Amino acid sequence: MNWLDTIVQGILLGGLYALFATGLSLVFGIMRLVNLAHGDLIVLGAYLILLIVSLLGISPFLAALIALPLMFGLGFVLQKVVLNRVLGEDILPPLLVTFGISVVVQNALLQGASADTRRLPTGDIGVASVNLGAVTVGVLPVLTFASAVLVIIILNQVFYRTALGRAFRATSDDPVTASLMGIKPKTVFAQATGIAMMIVTIAALYLGMRANFDPAVGPARLVYAFEAVIIGGLGSLWGTLAGGIIIGLAQTLGAAINPEWQILSGHVAFLLVLLFKPRGLFPRAVD
Amino acid sequence: MSLLSTHGLTAHYGQFQALFGVDITLEPGECVAIIGANGAGKTTLLRALSGILKSDAGAIRFNNEAVGDRPADEILRRGIAMVPEGRKLFPSLSVEENLLIGAHARKVPGPWSLEAIYALFPILRERRNSPGTALSGGQQQMVAIGRALMSNPAVMLCDEISLGLAPVVIRDIYNALPHIRSGGAALIIVEQDIGQALKVADRVYCMMEGRVTLSGAAGDLSREAIHNAYFGAAA
């Protein structure tokens, strides 16, 4: 067994999990909202990209570019019309509402797209690989990981270098005082959910190109995303990448030892981190 | 016509009525002090003026327009900025970012910019990259005042700006108020320190139990009248 290869594959898989988790982390970091429909929204994004590919006959990458603004709009409206109404001191109402959205999305997809498994067409890129000597890496996993890093770099730039990022952080700190600065907290929340849905679209692109999907696979994606966010530390974007990598590594190493241990190993790694670092590896200073 | 006024303003916190028909006025360029003991309704009045707290009866007029039902973000954009009690700096923002966020939504020409704030409070330039909450109480108050000024407001509401600060720091803060007034902003200052308030204010309103019990020009009010209005003793 080539352990180096296993480790590299695990790190690259972590990029996909980081993409699953980044949107969740963003929304939680800004408005303390745990979105139980996050996994189902990723699957919805994958179906949207598939629909655009089918209608226009273009590559999934181009289809994702078209899907990005549509998903932003969906996130913005979802937050403005539904989620903003239930945000408050009590965390239970938003949890229940996002659980309801999860059920609605799953059933709507089941009704509209049937329970058949689907996959986005990858063309040559799906099987392309680069031989680096001891390690051979697939082009698609590398693209996935690079996309995850790029998304986190861009988000950090937005957060720490722009007026919008200042508004995000100020609203996250104290929405009432932020409103005294002329900021509309509910609009900021809607913008954040819109951006999270754009990240969801990128995650959906790679999910759909790397694996089969059907309307029921969302909750498992949500679990991976949760684990990555919690391992990294709630609200920490780079921590989310680290969390994704740890789960990816644990799964790949577990599978290398025994293929039946793949999923279990990820969960065990999550529990171990939770046991020794309950606030995650890189918790934000102010939470 | 007053720049800002309230007529019969009434407000509740749940079942508890905090304001009972409050009437005040603020003229352009004026400095008005609201004084009173704890629980008199001073902060509630400022919260209602800033849009954080919805009044349930009465009117608030600014620039001859009714603004009592407008949200806080719109009140700021119209030109009323608030320095909240306890400073309320944003912990995840640096000093400079805390200042910049003050101009996030209202970008109007005026005397106040980042450079003007640093000229008013030079220590903030040195600490510009520090987290806002890592500063001393006095420096945090300077940031809170600077943050409100960054929107070049027509009216600045200052809630207990001397609370918990050392006398020397209070002096520095109050020394800045004439500069702020000369920039064109009218001020409403909520203050428990009567002496400090009388020094800077043109007019004074004394509140007790949600009502205005005394008002007048700062120079015309006797200490005895203020004492009686403040503590509720028979005049």
Q: How confident is the model at residue A27 (pLDDT cuts 50, 70, 90)?
A: very high
Distance from CA of B130 to the nearest CA of A (A): 14
Tell me the domains of chain A and their CATH numbers: 3-276 (1.10.3470)
Write down the H helix ranges in chain B.
Answer: 42-50, 72-78, 95-101, 114-120, 122-126, 137-149, 167-182, 194-200, 223-231
Tell me the domains of chain B and their CATH numbers: 31-41+79-230 (3.40.50.300)
For residue B104, which residues of chain A lie inside 8 Å, CB to CB?
163, 166-167, 170, 181-183
The mean pLDDT value for A183-194 works out to: 96
Q: What residue of A is the nearest CA neighbor of B147?
A: A181
Distance from CA of A37 to the nearest CA of B (A): 28
Q: Is B127 helix (H, G, I), strand (E, B) or coil?
A: coil
Q: Do A183 and B71 touch (CB under 8 A)?
A: no
Tens digits of residue pLDDT in B14-45: 889 999 999 999 999 999 999 988 888 999 99
Contact between B84 and B28 under an 8 Å Cβ cutoff? The reply is: no
Kind of pairing between the strands at B65-66 and A136-138? unpaired
The mean pLDDT value for A121-136 works out to: 88
Category of A110 on φ-ψ map: left (φ > 0), alpha (ψ -120 to 50) or beta: alpha
**Chain A to chain B Cβ contacts (< 8 Å):** 72
Element of type H or E holding B18? strand B16-26
Q: Which residues in chain A (136-175) have CB-CB distances under 8 A to chain B?
A: 163, 166-167, 169-170, 172-174
Q: What is the pLDDT of residue A209?
A: 95
Q: What is the ipTM of this complex?
A: 0.92
DSSP characters over A261-282: GHHHHHHHHHHHHHHH-TT-SS
Amino acid residing at B142:
M
Calculate the average pLDDT of chain A.
93
Q: Do B104 and A172 touch (CB under 8 A)?
A: no
Q: What residue of A is the nearest CA neighbor of B52?
A: A176
Please determine, for residue B99, whether its predicted confidence score (pLDDT) is greater than 60: yes
CA–CA dist B165, A68 (Å, integer): 51
Tokens of B81: 């900025």
State whether residue B102 sits within 8 Å of chain A by CB: yes
Q: Do A174 and B88 touch (CB under 8 A)?
A: yes
Q: How confident is the model at residue B117 (pLDDT cuts 50, 70, 90)?
A: very high
Tens digits of residue pLDDT in B147-160: 999 999 999 999 99
For residue A283, which residues of chain B lie inside 8 Å, CB to CB?
none
Q: Smallest Cα–Cα separation from A254: which of A235, A233, A269, A238? A: A269
CA–CA dist B177, B166 (Å, integer): 17
What angle is formed at CA B26 by the lines to CA B152 and CA B176, rounded to 5 degrees?
50
Contact between B109 and B152 under an 8 Å Cβ cutoff? The reply is: yes
State whether residue A260 sits within 8 Å of chain B by CB: no
For residue A172, which residues of chain B lie inside 8 Å, CB to CB?
92
Q: How confident is the model at residue A20 (pLDDT cuts 50, 70, 90)?
A: very high
The mean pLDDT value for A210-234 works out to: 93
Q: How confident is the model at residue A287 (pLDDT cuts 50, 70, 90)?
A: very low
Q: Smallest Cα–Cα separation from B143: which of B47, B129, B181? A: B129
Amino acid residing at B49:
L
Q: Do A183 and B90 touch (CB under 8 A)?
A: no
Please determine, for residue A141, whether its predicted confidence score (pLDDT) is greater than 80: yes
Contact between B87 and B104 under an 8 Å Cβ cutoff? The reply is: no
Q: Is B31 helix (H, G, I), strand (E, B) or coil?
A: strand
How far is it between the farthest Cα atoms of chain B?
53
Tokens of B124: 């903030």
What percent of chain A stands above pLDDT 90?
85
R_g (Cα) of chain B, nearest Å: 17
Contact between B59 and B95 under an 8 Å Cβ cutoff? The reply is: no
Could you write out the three-class secondary structure of A46-108?
HHHHHHHHHHHCCCHHHHHHHHHHHHHHHHHHHHHHHHHHHCCCCCHHHHHHHHHHHHHHHHH
